[in-house]
């Protein structure tokens, strides 16, 4: 089961680098997606 997140412009700094503070939100998105895929939700 794969989860693919496309980084949005607002999640980056002026150099286009993703800030590490986004990882927590992405992990939560992936967790909810996983639970949905296995029928938990």
Write down the pLDDT at residue 9: 92
33 flagged as catalytic: no
Write down the pLDDT at residue 15: 93
Write down the pLDDT at residue 8: 93
What residues pair up with 18 in beta bridges, in sequence order? 12
Q: Show the tokens assigned to 8.
A: 């949005």
pLDDT for 41 beyond 90: no
Catalytic choice (4, 6, 13, 14): 13
- The pTM assigned to this predicted structure is 0.72
In angstroms, the CA 41 to CA 25 distance is 19
Q: Phi first, then psi: what are they for 21, rounded to 5°?
A: -65, -15
The 3-state DSSP class for residue 31 equals helix
pLDDT in tens, 5-35: 999 999 999 999 998 999 999 999 999 999 9
């Amino acid at each position: 089961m794969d989860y693919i997140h496309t980084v949005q412009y607002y999640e980056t700094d002026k150099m286009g680098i993703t800030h590490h503070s986004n990882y927590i939100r992405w992990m939560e998105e992936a967790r909810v997606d996983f639970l949905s895929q296995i029928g938990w939700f």
